[in-house]
Amino acid sequence: MFSLFKPKNNDEIEQIYQMIIDQSRQEKLYSDFDVPDKPIGRFQMIMLHATPYFLSFANEGHKVKSQNLFDRIFKDIELSFREIGVGDLAVPKKMKRYMQDFNGIIQAHAAANADHADITRRNVFGDDGKMSKPFQTYIKGLFS
Is 25 domain-assigned? yes
Domain count within the chain: 1
Return the DSSP state at 115.
Answer: -
Answer whether 60's CB lies under 8 Å from 3's CB.
no
Q: Which residue has the higher pLDDT, 134 or 8?
A: 134
User: What's the domain range around 93?
Assistant: 8-142
Is 1 domain-assigned? no
- SS3 assignment, position 57: helix
Summarize pLDDT for 38-75 with one digit per residue, the tens: 999 999 999 999 999 999 999 999 999 999 999 999 99
Is 16 domain-assigned? yes
Beta strands in the chain (DSSP E): none
Summarize pLDDT for 10-43 with one digit per residue, the tens: 899 999 999 999 999 999 999 999 999 999 999 9
Q: How far is Cα 117 from Cα 94, in angstroms, rounded to an integer?
A: 25
Residue type, 87: G
Please tell me the predicted confidence (pLDDT) of residue 10.
81
Name the pTM for this structure: 0.89
Is 115 domain-assigned? yes
- SS3 assignment, position 127: coil
Is 112 domain-assigned? yes
Is 2 domain-assigned? no
Q: What is the mean pLDDT of the chain?
A: 93
Distance between terminal CA atoms of the chain?
Answer: 42
